[in-house]
Amino acid sequence: MIVANLLKAYLDSCVVSGLAKDELSAEDTSALVMILEAHKAGRIALVSSKLVQDEIAKIPAAYRLRHTVI
């Protein structure tokens, strides 16, 4: 259940791709892990956009699975 005033974190395609391809800096990875842990604990909601979904859909199928899972 998402509460109306729950803080939301937007996941852009560059974050999704960076994580999927293991290309994030150590600092960015650390920050993302904190965001994902907060999401898992129910403290924030993660959101993305139709544009992110469209960009992921354009990735060749052989590389798309990790992006989709994220």
pLDDT band at 3 (very low <50, low <70, confident <90, very high): low
pLDDT of residue 54: 92
Query: Does some domain include residue 50?
Result: yes
State the total domains in the chain: 1
End-to-end CA separation in angstroms for the chain: 20
pLDDT of residue 30: 92
Query: Does some domain include residue 15?
Result: yes
Query: Does some domain include residue 65?
Result: yes
pLDDT band at 6 (very low <50, low <70, confident <90, very high): confident
pLDDT tens-digit readout, 15-61: 888 988 899 999 998 998 899 899 999 999 999 999 999 999 999 99
Query: Does some domain include residue 42?
Result: yes
